[in-house]
Amino acid sequence: MGKGLGIGGTVVVLALSLLFGRNLFNDLGVEPAGVSAAPAPMSAADSAAEEPEVQFISFVLDDVQRTWASILSNSGTRFQPARLVLFRNSIDSGCGPAQSVMGPFYCPLDERVYLDLGFFDELRKRLGASGDFAQAYVLAHELGHHVQHLMGTDARVRQLQESNPSEANQLSVLLELQADCYAGVWAHSTEQRQKLEPGDVDEALGAAAAVGDDRIQKRTTGRINVDSFTHGSATQRSSAFKRGFESGDPGSCDTLS
């Protein structure tokens, strides 16, 4: 195993990896602190433009995981950090090929979050959810799935889906809403530590609503099919985040009872 870089060194090497179009972590023989770079070649101008975003993502990754390590230690669950893979266009994951059209996702088989940097452009331009805390919500949601994985929630849901195929979509919605609520729990902790700025919560709520199944279906097909929902409606998703934010209690996120 390679040596750890720490979050500051990770940001520097990741930015250089984006600039030169190759994974410099491999060249250096080190492992990044939670962030992996798998970029497609890009121009220096593109890299410079994305460097602040990469720094912010790295900060959120570290903060969310530190928060959940503290929360879970109180319940006796050992926290094992997830890793974040930033990529462009496509990459192989432990759960199969990852493509930009899939959006961000968590793979429980390799305990990694996969995020195409171009998704935030789509979030802002096509979905109308702008602001840095909209981006933070997205990452906190995916790390919420990692928490579910550590607690065995995702495995229980998969078993239920296999034994009740007709309820598979509904169970998926409940799992996603719990991850939204977990994102709210983290946001609550940032408020307690006085890290929130005016408008941050509205940005997160706007992002949660923007990725609601009803809004996505309306935009892509012109109609809404509730039976095919897998993540929840705009109202459900923003409400789940708000519940976690207002309570700060993971227990309030038990959508599966």
> Cα–Cα distance between 118 and 161 in angstroms, integer?
32
pLDDT band at 80 (very low <50, low <70, confident <90, very high): very high
Average pLDDT, the chain: 82
- What type of residue sits at position 203? E
**Residue 44, pLDDT above cutoff 70:** no
62-66, 112-116, 144-148: range with lowest mean pLDDT: 112-116
pLDDT band at 133 (very low <50, low <70, confident <90, very high): very high
Range of the domain at 250: 119-257
131 and 181 in one domain?
yes
**Residue 25, pLDDT above cutoff 80:** no
140 and 19 in one domain?
no
Q: What is the pLDDT of residue 125?
A: 77
pLDDT (mean) for 179-193: 97
Q: Among 152, 182, 187, which residue's Cα sits nearest to residue 250?
A: 182
Q: What is the pLDDT of residue 35?
A: 52
254 and 129 in one domain?
yes
**Residue 28, pLDDT above cutoff 90:** no
Q: Among 240, 235, 233, 238, which residue's Cα sits nearest to residue 217?
A: 233
> Cα–Cα distance between 187 and 64 in angstroms, integer?
9
The β-bridge relationship of strands 90-93 and 96-99 is antiparallel
Q: Among 3, 135, 143, which residue's Cα sits nearest to residue 66?
A: 143
* Boundary-marking domain end, from 100, 117, 134: 117
Structure tokens at 184: 């709210």
105 and 216 in one domain?
no
157 and 88 in one domain?
no
Q: What is the pLDDT of residue 1?
A: 35
Segment 3-17, tens digit of pLDDT: 334 444 444 444 444
CB 203 within 8 A of CB 137: yes
30-39, 165-174, 208-217: range with lowest mean pLDDT: 30-39
pLDDT band at 214 (very low <50, low <70, confident <90, very high): very high
Per the document, the length of the chain is 257
For the entire predicted model, the pTM comes to: 0.82
Radius of gyration of the chain (CA): 18
92 and 160 in one domain?
no
Q: List 114's β-bridge partners, or say none.
A: 85, 105
Structure tokens at 248: 């700060």
CB 42 within 8 A of CB 18: yes
137 and 22 in one domain?
no
**Residue 20, pLDDT above cutoff 90:** no
252 and 130 in one domain?
yes
> Cα–Cα distance between 146 and 140 in angstroms, integer?
10
10 Å Cβ neighbour count for 170?
A: 15
Q: What is the DSSP letter of 175?
A: H
Segment 153-183, tens digit of pLDDT: 999 999 999 999 999 999 999 999 999 999 9
Segment 45-59, tens digit of pLDDT: 444 556 777 888 999
pLDDT (mean) for 234-247: 98
Number of folded domains in the chain? Answer: 2
8 and 35 in one domain?
yes
CB 58 within 8 A of CB 12: no
